[in-house]
Chain A
Amino acid sequence: MSAAEHAAGPANSTEYITHHLTHLKVGEGFWSFHVDTIFMSVLLGLVTIALFYSAARKATSGVPGKWQAFVEMVCEFIDTTVKEVFHLDRRFLAPMALTIFVWVFLMNAMDLLPLDLPGKIAGLFGIHYWRAVPTADANTTFAMSLTVLAVVIFYSVKAKGVGGYVHELFTAPFGANPLLWIPNFLLNLVELLSKPVSLAMRLFGNMYAGELVFMLIALLGTSLFTWTIAGTVGFIGHLAMGAAWAIFHILIITLQAFIFMVLTVVYSAMATEHH
Chain B
Amino acid sequence: MENLALIAQVQGYTAIALGLIIGLGAIGACIGIGIMGSKFLEAAARQPELIPTLQGRMFLLAGLIDAAFLIGVALAMFFAFANPLLARFG
Contact = CB atoms under 8 A, between A and B. Distances in A.
Q: Report whether chain A binds chain B.
A: yes
B63 A201 contact: no
Interface in B16-74: 59-60, 62-64, 66-67, 70-74
A205 B67 contact: yes
Interface stretch (A89-97, A146-154, A252-260): A252-260
Contacts of B72: 205
| Majority secondary structure of chain B interface residues (helix, strand, loop or mixed) | helix
Given A208-B77, A256-B67, 5 more contacts: A201-B71, A204-B74, A206-B67, A206-B71, A209-B74
6 closest Cβ contacts across the A-B interface?
Answer: A205-B71, A208-B74, A202-B67, A209-B74, A255-B63, A209-B73
A21 interface: yes
Contacts of A212: 73-74, 77, 81
Given A17-B81, A21-B82, A212-B77, A206 B70 contact: yes
Interface of A: 14, 17-18, 21, 201-202, 204-206, 208-210, 212, 252, 255-256, 258-259, 262
B71 A256 contact: no
A258 B71 contact: no
Given A14-B81, A18-B81, A21-B82, A258 B63 contact: yes
B10 interface: no
Contacts of B60: 255, 258-259, 262
B1 to A, nearest CB: 23
B75 interface: yes
A18 B74 contact: no
A255 B60 CA distance: 7
A96 B81 CA distance: 37
A210 B71 CA distance: 10
Contacts, number: 54
Nearest to A20: B81
B77 A255 contact: no
Nearest to B82: A18
Nearest to B81: A17
B77 A209 contact: yes
Contacts of B64: 202, 259
Given A255-B59, A255-B63, A256-B63, A205 B73 contact: yes
- The listed residue with most A CB atoms (<10 A of its CB), out of B67, B73, B82, is B67
A199 to B, nearest CB: 10
Contacts of B70: 205-206, 209-210
A233 B75 CA distance: 30
B81 A255 contact: no
20 contacts: A18-B82, A201-B67, A202-B64, A202-B67, A202-B71, A205-B70, A205-B74, A205-B75, A206-B66, A208-B74, A209-B71, A209-B73, A209-B74, A252-B63, A252-B66, A255-B60, A255-B63, A256-B63, A258-B60, A259-B67
A21 B79 CA distance: 12
A17 B79 CA distance: 12
A213 to B, nearest CB: 8
- The listed residue with most A CB atoms (<10 A of its CB), out of B71, B74, B75, is B74
Contacts of A202: 64, 67, 71
A134 B12 CA distance: 32
